[in-house]
Structure 1
Amino acid sequence: MMDAGIEDNSNHDFSGYDVRVTDAAQNGDTFVYVIKSQQISSDTEYRVEREFEDFEWLHHCLLTQEGVTGLHGIIFPPLPAKPGTSLSNSEAKTKKKIESLAMVDDWQMYCRALEEYLHLVTAHPVLVKNPAVHSFLKHRELPLKTKVKKGIFNKLTQAVEELRKEHHKDIDDFFQNERDSNLTLTAFTKAAVEKFLEIVLTEQKIAIACGHFSTALHLGIGQDDDPADYAFAKMCLKLSEVLDTVKKNFEKVAENDLNTLGFNLELHSRFQDAEKEMLFRRTCKLVDVETANKNLGQAKPHKKAAMEDIKKAADKEFDEISGMAKVEIQRYHRERVRAFQKALIELELAATCFCCSSTGWLSLNSSVQNNYIQNCTVWN
């Protein structure tokens, strides 16, 4: 159910938004994110400040809205994991939590992850119509909200349900194949994220080692007037400069790897989990339909009519969910391929064009990035 205070849908223009998360500032134990948005059909720009709990509220509103046909068949854009309050131990966290890949470097990547979440929500033809989206982007103060649950189902209930229903045979080969594919790809994607993170961490370690070596060479240069010592000192100074350049390049390589393919892999990993949740919701509804059919067959004559109504309602809801799910799966795979291709192009361009000049991919504005991508002869 929608929270009280959200206005009716009929007053909204459902055109898309240009959304940017421009900054993050620590406020005590929480972080506040600055969000600037502008509706495509309007010239008015909105600026609001949101905490992570506000993103959770928005996500909860999307998951629990009423009156949307086939809602449980939607693959909801995955919300990034809640960040920690300190960056000092981010590397240790990334080794333990795949979903925190974006936290290796700084808050710029996390702001980008939240921004991508809002892009996905506002680009979705169904979710963008939710009044909570417009309140989140436009209103300085959100409606009074209570503590929201972490997801559609209570975690304990969901764990029990998964044990009982996750291997339930599907009646539709399309969805059974998708479930099997999702199970396989989820494992492979998480493994790919872990291996890619190991590569990035190695690049960062090499950069640190080069920095230490460069500093040691520089500090070890003596002041002796002996010609041989002078020549050796000059050589050490030159080598120190070379190592410092190598250090900077490895830092940029690591940064660009995270900003391109790393970001896409992490997002894809979360999307795999989101699709799994959607397929599980549909499986639960399938079990409900089969249970209704069984109860109808065993019902006594005076209960037949009631059981028939329950069966029809279950069948209708299941058909609506399945119809929405097929559209969502096709859309998801189409967009996944496009996003992965773009990430590979960005990775290739960042590696070949910018590392040598110590210029990071994110230092370029979006129009320049898109121009390089569109003119890339390798991928287009």
Structure 2
Amino acid sequence: MMEEDEATASPALSVRAGGIKVTEASRDGELLTFIIVSQKLSGTGEYHVDRTYGDFEWLQQHLSSLEDVPGIQGVIFPPLPAKAQQNASAKLVKQLGLLATGEDWKPYCKALETHLRHVAAHPTLRKAKHLESFLTSPEPPGRHKVKKGIFNRLGQAVEGIRKEAPNKDVDRFFRTERDHNFTLTGLSKAAAERFLEVVLTEQKIAMACGHLAASLQLCVEAGEEPGQPTFSRMCVKMSEVIESMKRNVQKVAENDVITLGLGLDLESRYQEAEKEMLFRRTCKLVELETASRNAERAKPVKKTAMDQIKKAAEKDFDQISVVAKQEIVRFQRGRVAVLQQALVQWCELQILTAKDSAEMWNQQLQAISGTAWH
């Protein structure tokens, strides 16, 4: 989850993980295209490519299909945000969460940028040839059918796992981590949902301020009736104040989304990614237990074949467990840094916004005080 030190990371990529940026998004009908700029590792230039969300899915599928990499099922794959929708319905807003709250694509571009940076910084995934072509090739990725990866096969294993007795994990480390993940998955999702409610409320307040400011302008009328000029001036000034309030609340909501909002959203998605990894390991554990029972019960004519299947399953399980432990340690270290950074950025931007607002209120107060009401 945290970007690796690029001096010690594998040099498989020709770009810097920290130099990857998703600069903008453009829509052509139903097609949304993202511009990706990657700084060359040599520092002498940049790659500029345009990719659709389908291209991001193509990359994710290829990364989950690296079956020639020992222990690949123990990897916590950087989670890809859900597909963006403009003018999302209430149901889609709940699915996309904080990524569906902005009027532009800035938060979504930032989420995709973070995803690519984490993939490019991962000690195993960064070596995938498909990642290099995704970031550097001017041509879009191939649209040929990708071999089914890890995620596609998870559903096939679910029923088998449910039929198994709920045995405890053979490793205390993973038993403890599964308990922690179960708790944190629920808490992180709840935190992101509550923060989403805060942002949506702020947006509603900003909209209401806009309506009120416009309504006050409608009260301005030219006339010679006693008090009419004074009343009109009051309406104009109050409209300006309310409009300033609207801009302030909009800025606060924008700060919420782009900092702590994205941090909480990423934390929630990563907890789900770890949950998927732990589930894959559980599937392999059940497969090993089944192979062990079959080997014990095998007749002499099938004993050798069953023992070989058992040894292969045991080897796979051990490799996955080794990689999974490394991934969990790396993940726990990185998630703290990411949340800390999100909190710091959130506080910094809110302080700056508060200072700007205080200056704005002072100017409004002076303007009102200097107005001749009579």
Confirm or deny that 1:90 pairs with 2:82.
no
Q: Residues of 2 paired with 1:273 and 1:312: CA distance? A: 31
Question: Counterparts of 1:335-354 in structure 2 under 5 Å?
Answer: 335-354=334-353
Letter in 2 for 1:57: W
The one-letter code matched in structure 1 to 2:27 is Q
Q: CA 1:133/1:358 → structure 2, altered by over 3 Å: closer, same or farther?
A: farther
What residue number does 1:202 align with? 201
Deviation at 1:151, TM superposition (A): 5.9
Query: For residues 220 and 150 of structure 2, what CA distance do their matches in structure 1 show?
Result: 60
For residues 143-199 of structure 1, the C-alpha deviation after alignment (integer angstroms, 9 at most, x for no partner) is 533244686234652542453469542111111121122122112222211111111
Q: Give the alignment of 1:112-261 within 5 angstroms.
A: 112-142=110-140, 144-148=142-146, 152-154=151-153, 156-161=155-160, 163-164=162-163, 167-226=166-225, 228-261=227-260
Establish whether residue 16 from structure 1 lines up as the match of residue 16 from structure 2: yes
Q: Which residue of 2 aligns with 1:371?
A: none
CA distance in 2, matches of 1:358, 1:141: 47
Deviation at 1:232, TM superposition (A): 2.8
Whether 1:104 and 2:101 are equivalent positions in the alignment is yes
Moved more, 330-339 or 176-185: 176-185
Post-superposition CA distance 1:196-244 (Å, at most 9, x none): 1111111011111111111111220222335533333322222211111
- Cα distance, 1:11–1:240 mapped onto 2, change above 3 Å: closer
Task: Give the whole-Å Cα distance in 2 for the aligned partners of 1:139 and 1:324.
Answer: 30
SS at match of 1:25: strand
Change (3 A) 1:76 1:13: closer
Native 8 Å contact 2:62 2:149 kept in 1: no
Using the TM superposition, give the Cα deviation of residue 251 of structure 1 relative to its aligned residue in structure 2, in angstroms: 0.2
Which SS does the other structure have where 1:21 is aligned?
Answer: strand
Distance 1:11 1:78, change over 3 A: closer
Give the AA of the match of 2:41: I
Q: Give the percent of matched residue pairs that are identical in Structure 1 and Structure 2.
A: 47
| Alpha-carbon distance in 1 for matches of 2:202, 2:36 | 32
SS at match of 1:22: strand
8 Å CA contact 1:252–1:358 kept in 2: the answer is: no
Structure 2 CA distance, aligned partners of 1:235 and 1:267? 47
One-letter code aligned to 2:135: L
SS in structure 2 of the partner of residue 55 of structure 1: helix
List 4+ stretches of structure 1 deviating above 6 A. Answer: none
AA matched with 2:195: F
Q: Could you tell me how far 1:64 is from its partner in structure 2?
A: 0.5
| Structure 1, unaligned runs of 5 or more | 1-9, 360-380
Q: Scaled by the length of structure 1, what TM-score is found?
A: 0.84
Partner of 1:90, secondary structure, is coil
CA contact (8 A) 1:211 1:247 kept: yes
Post-superposition Cα deviations, 1:22-58, rounded to whole Å, max 9, x if no partner, equal: 1212233211111111232342311111111111111
Decide which moves more: 225-234 or 180-189: 225-234
- Out of 296-305 and 124-133, give the one that drifted further: 296-305
Q: In the TM superposition, what is the alpha-carbon distance from 1:290 to its structure 2 partner?
A: 1.1
Confirm or deny that 1:41 pairs with 2:39: no
Alignment root-mean-square deviation, CA: 2.4
SS of the equivalent of 1:76 reads coil
Q: What corresponds to 1:79 in structure 2? A: 80
Distance 2:15 2:139 in 1: 22
The one-letter code matched in structure 2 to 1:139 is S
More contact order relative to length (CA 8 Å, sep ≥ 6) = 2
**2:304 corresponding residue in structure 1:** 305
CA deviations on 1:337-377 (whole Å, 9 max, x unpaired) are: 11111111111111122244269xxxxxxxxxxxxxxxxxx
Residues 284-341 of structure 1: CA distance to partner in whole angstroms, max 9, x if unpaired? Answer: 1111111122112112223322222222211111111111101111111111111111
- Between the aligned partners of 2:157 and 2:234, the Cα distance in structure 1 is 65
SS of alignment partner, residue 258 of structure 2? helix
Structure 2 match to 1:293 = 292
Query: Which shows bigger deviation, 282-291 or 163-172?
Result: 163-172
- For residues 26-65 of structure 1, what are the structure 2 equivalents within 5 Å? 26-65=27-66
**Counterpart Cα distance in 2 of 1:321 and 1:72:** 6
Measure how far apart 1:81 and its partner are.
0.8
**TM norm structure 2:** 0.86
- The runs of 5 or more residues in structure 2 that have no matched partner are 1-9, 359-374
Report the CA distance shift for 1:248/1:60 in structure 2 as closer, same or farther (over 3 A).
same
Q: What SS does the corresponding residue of 2:151 show, helix, strand or coil? A: coil
